Amino acid sequence: FGIKFITWVHMMRILGASKIYLSVGELHPDVQKIFDHFVKIGYIETSVFKEPSEKISVQALEYIMLNDCFYKAKNLYDFIMVCDTDEVTLPMIETERTWYDIFAHFKNETERIDSFPVHQRYFPNLVLKLNPEIPEYHYMFQHIWVEI
């Protein structure tokens, strides 16, 4: 989890995220060190999440954590992206390199836009061809093919 999480955080930075809000439970001490580093530099804000005493569904728990992060960020930013740590929303047009490039098309629109649909892609664990210029431990950056 650690290396993939670090790669995901760097990918979010490359794509233009100013801050990441995460709900976290109990973490392995080594993973906690990774979180602590990103919290210390102000790039990640975490909320400690403890499971409620009453039994509720996994989906309900995910909505609780998602809403916690959303409500912390909603008045601070022009755009908010919701995703899991195993998801990346990539620009699909060659001239668009970051999320800001995508949103720039809509910033001057007079009609209010509340959401943007995106296509999800799966990064399989099997990497068919390694790029020798990219270290093997950069999991997401090694993928030149994605499942559609």
Tell me the per-residue pLDDT of 6-40, one tens digit each, with 9 for 90 and over.
888 888 998 899 999 988 888 888 888 988 999 99
Cα 131 to the center of its chain, rounded Å: 23
pLDDT of 125 > 80? The answer is: no
Using one digit for the tens of pLDDT, what is the confidence trace for 42-63?
999 988 887 777 888 888 888 8
Q: Are 137 and 3 in contact (CB under 8 A)?
A: yes
Residue 88's closest CA among 63, 123, 129, 137?
123
Instruction: Please tell me the predicted confidence (pLDDT) of residue 19.
Output: 93
Instruction: Please tell me the predicted confidence (pLDDT) of residue 61.
Output: 84
Q: Are 78 and 112 in contact (CB under 8 A)?
A: no
Instruction: Please tell me the predicted confidence (pLDDT) of residue 37.
Output: 92
